[in-house]
A and B are shown apart, each in its own frame.
Chain A
Amino acid sequence: MNLSSKAEGGALVVSVHEARIDASVAIQFKDRMREETENAEGRVVLNLSEVDFIDSSGLGAIVAAMKQLGGENPLELAGLNENVDKVFRLTRMDTVFRIHATLEEAITE
């Protein structure tokens, strides 16, 4: 599971360099998120612009990552494509996460 992170504009940006977050990698995703965000201070932006598909297991893993981070480090999302956005909307998880249209928008506030 290829994830990278760097501090940008007062947030920690975690980018997912994978086309899919699905049931076969959900546990790895949670583990990698924990590693990448260990020293997070403030908000964390998950950059999904390279992700082309998530299923409900992938969604669950993103929710788990948000819960791991807790209230001190709110997890926000950026760069959702149409398929990914649909999963958040249909499950109403779009009401739970702050979702930015682009990474630029997420880091320039």
Chain B
Amino acid sequence: MTNSQSDIHIELAGTPQEVRNALETLRQKLTAEEFAACNAGVLELVLAEVLNNVVEHALAGREDGQIVITCNYVEQCWNVEVRDNGAAMPDGQLPAGVMPDVDGAMEELPEGGFGWGLVRTLAEDIDYKRRASGHNALRFRVPD
């Protein structure tokens, strides 16, 4: 598949501001007529969590971080790939994505650790590969 055949193709550098800009671009593309009925809010949330994770961990402390997102809408489902040139996932494994416990006392409440729990709740068929080229490739589907 070449880039020009993707429904949505966005490239960004690895910073929180670039993530915000990319998601705003995504939102504009999703409100275009052909995708108006698709599951835009969920796709945006899953991508936000994946991209934040890449920026905070895989690309932490690097200034040459590059991320490429492609999304294709096929049979009521978004097929998404996110590639980056950052460090591999620890042990080559995706995070377990267990939601933190919120039942404790207020001062004990978690302020983070929800990202991969949200991804695992909302996305399907999540597949991670470390490429020989030194890239991470994460694929998943977001059903409508």
Binding site for B on A (CB under 8 A): 20, 22-24, 53, 55-57, 59-61, 63-64, 66-67, 70-71, 82-83, 86-87, 90-93, 95-96
Contacts and interface: CB of A to CB of B under 8 A. Distances in A.
The DSSP consensus for interface residues of chain B is helix
A35 B103 CA distance: 28
Interface residues of B, number: 30
Contacts, number: 81
14 contacts: A23-B52, A23-B55, A24-B19, A53-B44, A55-B115, A56-B52, A57-B52, A67-B109, A86-B41, A86-B42, A91-B99, A91-B100, A91-B102, A91-B117
Q: Which 3 A-B pairs have the closest CB atoms?
A: A24-B16, A60-B111, A56-B114
Contacts of A22: 16, 19-20, 23, 48
A67 B102 CA distance: 13
B121 A55 contact: no
Interface in B17-56: 17, 19-20, 23, 41-42, 44-45, 48-49, 52, 55-56
